[in-house]
Structure 1
Amino acid sequence: MKLVIIAAGRGSRISSISNGIPKILIEVFNQTLLEHLIKNCESVGISDIVLVTGHQSEMIHDYISKNEFNINIELTYNSDWDLPNGISVLASKNNIPKGHDFMISMSDHYYNSDLLIKIMESELSNTIVNVGADYKTDAIHDPDDAMKLIIDKDSEIVSAMSKDLRKYNAVDCGLFKCKYEFFSILEKTKSNGNYSLSDACNILINNQDLGGVNIDDSVWLDIDTPEALDYIKKNRKLFKE
């Protein structure tokens, strides 16, 4: 199964301290976010990554060419990188074998292999996409920016997804497992003038096709602000395997 990593955006929220480098090349605990994602993949048996780049793609490509990794990395360029993230997933379509399941990860979300394997091993028998769901809502670092979810705990089906939900019981941790047919949902979303993953997921929600996978005690952090980077460095014990 391939993991699609979305690394095309500008990273404007953290640009004040990123020193002009892409978010995926920011260092946390003496390794780049990309290195950490690769180590996660190696730990759970994922041998193929599709890395979707856009803004500052040359820097990412140069970094990969100068380093050796024990994993296959396919580079795909998203020329519409300034549009929301669903376009980056669509850019990876030709890299995914037709009919095969695949996974999606944000490039700036820090998590460990225990979380990755929970999503990877989830079943898609009754859903088209499963999203990692964090029910520890009181512990979310930046709740205002979090993608909030309402999930039926018995059926594990998501009934609502939005950053604007006032009442919710979980938060999207930025890791997905998808059937190949999700690409057709993304294409439908794009034809309607909507471009984000959440727009496509809301189409799934209307048909009860989006599942929520409880990540239990696994931890993660969206590192897209200086405050988030400072937080993870000050709370190293929470995030080290």
Structure 2
Amino acid sequence: MMIGVILAAGMGTRLMPLTKEIPKALLEINEMTLLERMIRNCIEADISKFIVVVGYNRDKVTDLCPVLAERYGVEIKTLTNEKYEVTNTSVSTYIASQMIEENPEDFVLVNGDNVVDPEIIKRIAGCRHTGMIIDNYKKLNEESFKIIIENEQSNEDKSISTGQIASIGKQLDIDSSSGEFIGVSKVISDDISDFNEILSQLIDENPQNYYDFAYKDLSRIRTIDYVMTNGLKWTEIDDHTDWENAQKLVDELEN
């Protein structure tokens, strides 16, 4: 069994007024919320248990989740980040991963504001180790969440590589970067304890940290698969330009 963890606590301030009454995960494209579309993607990858971490306008999400659970015959639990206004994704992730550690299972972790080709979820769900989806095609810019992998070794078709993370973050030099982490990852059950310990340290340092940084230290002690998009399309939705791109991408994927 595998759990899908969807982070949906953020306020989405750069998308106002679209997010004035609802969190980003409940924005609709072609009459379907981003949350429902991501759950469907995960179901296609044989994931049938979900944790949705809520915060901003949480009642809207907690009301929808039982409807989606019944519609698709899956289990959906909601957990609340009470401090969503003053924390970031490290805290939301820790809330879910702490619970999973009590009865460890592999989990796929996705940002609730992502629109992705469903094949991306299948690829991350299918990797043997803890893994991260890395876009090795898209042109990087200052906003890209870049990653530099050292001691990198790739498989024959260069779809998966391993190695240690030298650096991760938006501030990295574009030419030195291996690609962009797209906010889709997987933690296997054997790695959850170490992952949570690193997350806890990140939160103690700064509750505004992203969970993404935890993979840097984890890569020093555990094997991480870097699963390349190799041209598969996706977008995060941070601002109105992203929102327009997401609508075009959904139309492209559905047609």
Band of TM-score, shorter chain: 0.7 to 0.9
Query: SS of the counterpart of 1:186?
Result: helix
Is the alpha carbon distance of 1:58 and 1:2 closer, same or farther for their aligned partners in structure 2, counting shifts above 3 Å?
Answer: same
Bigger mean CA deviation after superposition, 109-118 or 16-25: 16-25
Bigger mean CA deviation after superposition, 211-220 or 148-157: 148-157
Partners in 1 of 2:246 and 2:205 — Cα distance? 38
| Long gaps (5+) in structure 1 | none
Partners in 2 of 1:197 and 1:99 — Cα distance? 19
Give the match for residue 239 of structure 1.
Answer: 253
RMSD of the TM alignment (CA)? 2.2
1:23-62 deviations in whole A, cap 9, x for unaligned?
A: 0010112211011011112211100010000111011112
Partners in 1 of 2:181 and 2:242 — Cα distance? 17
Asked if 2 retains the 8 angstrom alpha-carbon contact of 1:109 and 1:221, the reply is: yes
Asked if 2 retains the 8 angstrom alpha-carbon contact of 1:6 and 1:52, the reply is: yes
Is the alpha carbon distance of 1:38 and 1:162 closer, same or farther for their aligned partners in structure 2, counting shifts above 3 Å?
Answer: same
Structure 2 counterpart of 1:13, one-letter code: R
Is the alpha carbon distance of 1:84 and 1:42 closer, same or farther for their aligned partners in structure 2, counting shifts above 3 Å?
Answer: same
Give the match for residue 91 of structure 2.
Answer: 87
Q: TM-score, normalised by structure 2?
A: 0.83
Bigger mean CA deviation after superposition, 230-239 or 53-62: 230-239
Asked if 2 retains the 8 angstrom alpha-carbon contact of 1:131 and 1:210, the reply is: yes
Q: TM-score, normalised by structure 1?
A: 0.87
Query: SS of the counterpart of 1:130?
Result: strand
Matched, 1:72 2:85: no
Match among 194, 201, 204 for residue 191 of structure 1: 204
Give the match for residue 134 of structure 1.
Answer: 135
Query: SS of the counterpart of 2:192?
Result: coil
Partners in 1 of 2:29 and 2:225 — Cα distance? 31
Structure 2 counterpart of 1:104, one-letter code: L
Is the alpha carbon distance of 1:234 and 1:193 closer, same or farther for their aligned partners in structure 2, counting shifts above 3 Å?
Answer: closer
Q: How far is the alpha carbon of 1:228 from its aligned partner?
A: 1.1
Partners in 2 of 1:236 and 1:57 — Cα distance? 25
Q: How many residues align?
A: 234
Q: How far is the alpha carbon of 1:149 from its aligned partner?
A: 1.2
Matched, 1:5 2:6: yes
Structure 2 counterpart of 1:101, one-letter code: D
Partners in 2 of 1:134 and 1:196 — Cα distance? 18
Give the match for residue 163 of structure 1.
Answer: 170
Percent identity, aligned pairs only, is 22
| Long gaps (5+) in structure 2 | 155-160
For residues 172-187 of structure 1, the aligned pairs below 5 Å read 172-178=181-187, 179-181=191-193, 182-187=195-200
Give the match for residue 158 of structure 2.
Answer: none
Asked if 2 retains the 8 angstrom alpha-carbon contact of 1:219 and 1:238, the reply is: no
Structure 1 counterpart of 2:204, one-letter code: S
Is the alpha carbon distance of 1:2 and 1:211 closer, same or farther for their aligned partners in structure 2, counting shifts above 3 Å?
Answer: same
Structure 1 counterpart of 2:48, one-letter code: S
Is the alpha carbon distance of 1:148 and 1:238 closer, same or farther for their aligned partners in structure 2, counting shifts above 3 Å?
Answer: farther
Matched, 1:62 2:94: no
Q: How far is the alpha carbon of 1:230 from its aligned partner?
A: 1.2
Query: SS of the counterpart of 1:137?
Result: coil
Is the alpha carbon distance of 1:120 and 1:32 closer, same or farther for their aligned partners in structure 2, counting shifts above 3 Å?
Answer: same
Flag the structure with higher helix content. 2
Partners in 1 of 2:101 and 2:37 — Cα distance? 22
Structure 2 counterpart of 1:89, one-letter code: T
